[in-house]
Structure 1
Amino acid sequence: MPSITDHPSTRRAIPAVPVLSLAAFRPAGKAPPSLLDAPALRHVTSGRIAIGMALRALGVGPGDTVLVPAYHSPSMVPPVHWRGARAVFYRVHPDTTADLDDIAAKLDPTVKAVMATHFFGIPQDLAPLRALCDRHGIGLVEDCAHCLFGTRGPVAVGSSGDYAIGSSMKFFPVYDGGCLVSHRHPLDVRLQGGGAGFEAKAALNTLEAAFAHGRLPVLRAALALPLRLKEALWNRVKARRGARADGTPADGAPAPSTLAPASSDSGFDFDPRWMDRRASLFARLVLRFAARARIVALRRRHYLQLEQALAGLPGCRPLFPALPDGACPWVFPVLFDDPEPVFAALQRARVPVVRFGAVLWPGVDASVCPNSADLGRRLIAFPCHQELSAAERTWLCAAIGDAARAGAAVAA
């Protein structure tokens, strides 16, 4: 996941994202509203690919403008440029909601679409923005990358936009996956497979991530020899091919990284070669059979546990005063008065964190949106996903508390 702060040589003490377990498939009651319930749905390899497909469906092209929140992931912008359009950034409020007045002030005849994001799994009220877009004949792309499940009152996520996009990798234990949905338009697009190499990598990487964190021990033992042989074979293939100065294999074959999109390997890049490619079969099977009600119930429970554990810690507060009914959180976002000493302590303790918005598109700074710059600097978010065990959650709460107190001591 590109938003997870990590170092390739450091294995995190607990899983930063959901990892596969048998518990993922246990029945858990009635499933809550989900982006996956939309009447028109396509499973693709990532949310950014879905953004590109949504902009294409809206007819965005050269000379057009797309309004994008100033608080964003850099992966949101390349799909706009792929369409030949220009990204213009609008302000957000301190609670991440869209600044409707700033959006209205930026409307001109070139604006073809607006992207609106439900940050961190908290559904926003998009009715006013939907009305503004309708008055001006502008398309609305509802960015649900953080918000695959949930409602705002009676309104399900994904139902306000002309098109909505999701990132199933943030909510399910899968290596790849996003979706493009619509409640308003048909999706007249045919998807193709990503190839045998992609399918194998998606399955193996999902399993290996689970094995690395102690899940599926019986399956791990059964696959130990095949996985060692796979690794040895792959290393031998890479050694035989060699590499050019640009990193591509000397024999002209596809580079190993092209077996999967950058979104699956912690990159922000947008590769048009993955347009109109469907999610892996392994990911689609997990999405079909995993217990969705369990995902929502446990994420809410873990979020509230973190909220309780952090209450009273010095120099910090949750971004949201309370977890709204109908919300399924992606992570637990916290604002720190002096974030850098805390972040350093968290890194030393190998705590997986998200620093969403810490890196914004070039040129987007406090002069464009002071709130976005402040959020990007001060916000550190922590995993609350459904696959955290009781012991892992206890350790996480203690590690965050230690880091917060250490950071406060430095500031003092």
Structure 2
Amino acid sequence: MKTCRFGMWPVLPLNVHFKKPSDYKPFPLDEENLQIYSRARHAMYNACKALGWGKEDAILVPAYHHGSEIQALCDLDIQLKYYELTDKLEPNPEELDQLMTTNVRALYITHYLGFPQNAAFWRKWCDERNIMLIEDAAQAFLAERDGIPVGSHGDFSIYCLYKTYGLPDGGALVSKKPLKDNYAKAPSGVWPMVKRHINFVSEQRGEVAGLHLRFNDAMSVYKKVKNESNEKELQLGDPTTRASAMTMKLLPLLLDENTAAKRRENYRYMLSKLGELVPPPFNELPDGASPFAFPVKLNDAKEFLARLKKKGVIGQLFWLNPHPTLPKAEFPFSIELREGVMALPVHQDLSVKELDKIINAVKECLPVVQL
């Protein structure tokens, strides 16, 4: 029997085109000062550009980052002041104060894996120092803390809509004050939509999953030969690109007020079976979280991922490669996270039966890895 494929990203069911648009319009989609670009990195770039920030300005940014958001700042020649995280994946106020200079314009915080930071605290901290607060909610669309949606406290905040729903693209920007948009073209989004449909079928049919895995393996080899993988992953692209026409059509069909609750339900189930592998602070699920993925920490994550892939489960080493501007030796905790924390699927489209397949695959691979 062929093994199905379970990936990190939410899939796009084939019947979505026959659904009725939802009346549900969560934050920030209900906000007046909303712009939706193709990618969240575009949103970041355009917000900073609209504020006139450049080579004379600096932002406090986390050493634990994806890299594309950092590249967006670099493309504007903004100075970067990296800070290390605490074991709770929060900034250390004392370290931040040591980094403060007169040209610091903002503090950048990230809501990792859909787990809300204490943004209310950081809002007050920024106000006391007369700087702005940027909330990176790329992985935290639909998350909230104390009933307040993630991103509400930021002077501006960014979201990746396609990390929560099976959309072709969609990087949202919301701001407290109006920011001039930088819109130009909008792609059709048809081919990315087709790929999301293929991901859905791969979760249902093993023979399709096998072909999909082989195709992705071939593309990975090609990118390595061309030395494209990490470089392309960080590139800004055209920051004027709007969200695709297909994303704007599909979004109202996919929005569901139960999405975050279903992700939490799936996360709790995974936590009950694999909790001993989950590093803090992710070993406790906050009420308002909207988990993007299920993290596990292993000594030999790369070897584990390779074995897991053969069983049809596509995990990822979470943010393995930092932006080249990061002085890695100065941030050992962030590097440890990059090399040891891997992410497993937990999205809302997975049933308990499918979660059990993922859990069993993980357990079967565990004896190979020394914990």
Could you say whether these structures have the same fold, taking a TM-score greater than 0.5 normalized by the shorter chain as the test?
yes
Mapped to 2, the partners of 1:288 and 1:29 lie a distance apart of 5
Task: Tell me which residue corresponds to 1:90.
Answer: 83
The code of the aligned residue for 2:233 comes to G
Percent of residue pairs identical: 27
**1:202-281, aligned counterparts within 5 Å?**
202-214=189-201, 267-271=233-237, 274-281=238-245
Task: Tell me which residue corresponds to 1:404.
Answer: 366
1:117/1:14 CA distance change after superposition, 3 Å? same
Mapped to 2, the partners of 1:122 and 1:160 lie a distance apart of 15
Gaps of 5+ in 1: 1-10, 218-246, 248-256
Other structure's SS at 2:201 match: coil
For residues 317-360 of structure 1, what are the alpha-carbon distances to aligned partners after superposition, in whole Å with 9 as ceiling and x for unaligned?
Answer: 56423211111111111222443442342244342113223211
Task: Tell me which residue corresponds to 1:295.
Answer: 259
Mapped to 2, the partners of 1:12 and 1:110 lie a distance apart of 52
8 Å contact kept, 1:70–1:368:
no
Matched, 1:166 2:132: no
- Report the count of equivalent residues: 346
Gaps of 5+ in 2: 205-225
Shift of 1:158: 0.9
Other structure's SS at 2:65 match: coil
8 Å contact kept, 1:165–1:179:
yes
**1:280-359, aligned counterparts within 5 Å?**
280-312=244-276, 317=279, 319-359=281-321
Match of 1:44 among 26, 37, 42: 37
**Which region of structure 1 is more displaced relative to structure 2, 61-70 or 128-137?**
128-137
The code of the aligned residue for 2:285 comes to L
Mapped to 2, the partners of 1:94 and 1:33 lie a distance apart of 31
TM-score, normalising length from structure 1? 0.76
Task: Tell me which residue corresponds to 2:177.
Answer: 185
Alpha carbon RMSD of aligned pairs, Å?
Answer: 3.0
1:190/1:344 CA distance change after superposition, 3 Å? closer
Shift of 1:366: 5.4
Mapped to 1, the partners of 2:232 and 2:266 lie a distance apart of 25
The code of the aligned residue for 1:328 comes to S
Mapped to 2, the partners of 1:317 and 1:165 lie a distance apart of 26
Mapped to 2, the partners of 1:317 and 1:19 lie a distance apart of 27
For residues 32-89 of structure 1, what are the alpha-carbon distances to aligned partners after superposition, in whole Å with 9 as ceiling and x for unaligned?
Answer: 8533233311111011111101212332112211221010011111111111212221
Mapped to 2, the partners of 1:216 and 1:320 lie a distance apart of 26
Mapped to 1, the partners of 2:255 and 2:285 lie a distance apart of 22
8 Å contact kept, 1:365–1:373:
no
The structure that has the greater radius of gyration is 1
Matched, 1:375 2:337: yes
Task: Tell me which residue corresponds to 1:111.
Answer: 104
Other structure's SS at 1:53 match: helix
Shift of 1:100: 1.9
Shift of 1:310: 0.8
Matched, 1:21 2:13: yes
Shift of 1:390: 4.2
Task: Tell me which residue corresponds to 1:66.
Answer: 59
Mapped to 1, the partners of 2:327 and 2:264 lie a distance apart of 33
8 Å contact kept, 1:210–1:216:
no
Other structure's SS at 1:142 match: strand
Task: Tell me which residue corresponds to 1:392.
Answer: 354
Shift of 1:119: 0.5
The code of the aligned residue for 1:301 comes to E
8 Å contact kept, 2:299–2:369:
no
TM-score, normalising length from structure 2? 0.83
